[in-house]
């Protein structure tokens, strides 16, 4: 009687090992006939546990398939030519707004402290040539604390700019920028202080490329 029960138990274990081997382990068998370490534990799994794992895998795959088929079409659609054209047009409009000053006439920056005008002695601004900036305001009670030029199209480092007072409400600076093959857009950032309150003035300017 005990021998019969032992035989049945052994046949059952062999059947379970065969299911594990055929359904799970065989796809992962290495060339030398061995299995990866993470699969060796499957020998200890019962048939019920193996079936549960297979059901979980099937459910997971079904959920992934359902999510793919029911995804928002707008998430899967690539950018169309119309969208790209509109983006380019908007970018061009924004650039036109940024480059509203050619410095043939003073460029005005309106702040909470009033208007500031930046002018250039010999426009247009050229690469590798001295640039003489003049910053003025109708309000005389302000000072330039720091200034720098940075590239907006690409990182070109930081160019320190020193503004010196000429008289009340008027500062000047002399600097230059490097040349690029294509047109480069630069930004002059001027930090001022008026009555203990700090303010940042931003002026953009374009420099033609040498190409």
pLDDT score recorded for residue 187: 92
pLDDT of res. 64: 80
Distances (CA, A) of 142 to 5, 100, 136, 165: 100, 25, 10, 10
Q: Determine the pLDDT at residue 7.
A: 56
Start-end of CATH 2.60.40.3340 domains in the chain: 97-207
Pairing of strands 170-175, 158-160: unpaired
Query: How far is residue 42's CA from residue 24's CA, in Å, rounded to a whole number?
Result: 9
Residue 121 has what pLDDT?
92
If one counts every other C-beta atom within 10 angstroms of the C-beta of residue 3, the result is: 7
Radius of gyration of the chain from Cα atoms? 36
User: Residue 135 has what pLDDT?
Assistant: 96
126: left (phi over 0), alpha (psi -120 to 50) or beta: beta
- Has this prediction a pTM greater than 0.75? no
CATH of domain 97-207: 2.60.40.3340
Give the chain's residues under pLDDT 50: 1-4, 6, 19, 23, 25, 30-32, 35, 37-38, 76, 78-79, 81, 84-85, 87-99
């Amino acid at each position: 009687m005990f021998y019969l029960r032992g035989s049945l138990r052994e046949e059952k274990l062999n059947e379970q090992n065969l299911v594990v081997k055929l359904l799970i382990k065989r796809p992962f068998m290495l060339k030398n006939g061995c299995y990866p370490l993470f699969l060796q534990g499957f020998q200890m799994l019962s048939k019920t546990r193996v079936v549960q794992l297979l059901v979980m895998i099937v459910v997971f795959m079904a959920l992934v398939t359902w999510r793919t088929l029911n995804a928002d079409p707008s998430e899967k659609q690539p950018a169309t030519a119309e969208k790209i054209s509109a983006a380019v047009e908007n970018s061009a409009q924004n650039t036109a707004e940024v480059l509203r000053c050619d410095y043939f006439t003073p460029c005005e920056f309106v702040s909470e402290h009033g208007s500031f005008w930046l002018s250039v002695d010999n426009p247009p601004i050229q690469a590798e040539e001295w640039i003489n900036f003049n910053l003025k305001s109708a309000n005389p009670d302000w000072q330039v604390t720091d200034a720098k030029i940075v590239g907006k199209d690409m990182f070109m480092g930081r160019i320190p700019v020193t503004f010196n007072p000429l008289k009340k409400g008027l500062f000047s600076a002399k600097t230059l920028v490097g040349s690029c093959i294509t047109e480069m857009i630069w930004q002059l950032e001027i930090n001022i202080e008026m009555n203990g309150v700090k303010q940042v003035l931003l002026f953009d300017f374009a420099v033609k490329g040498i190409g």
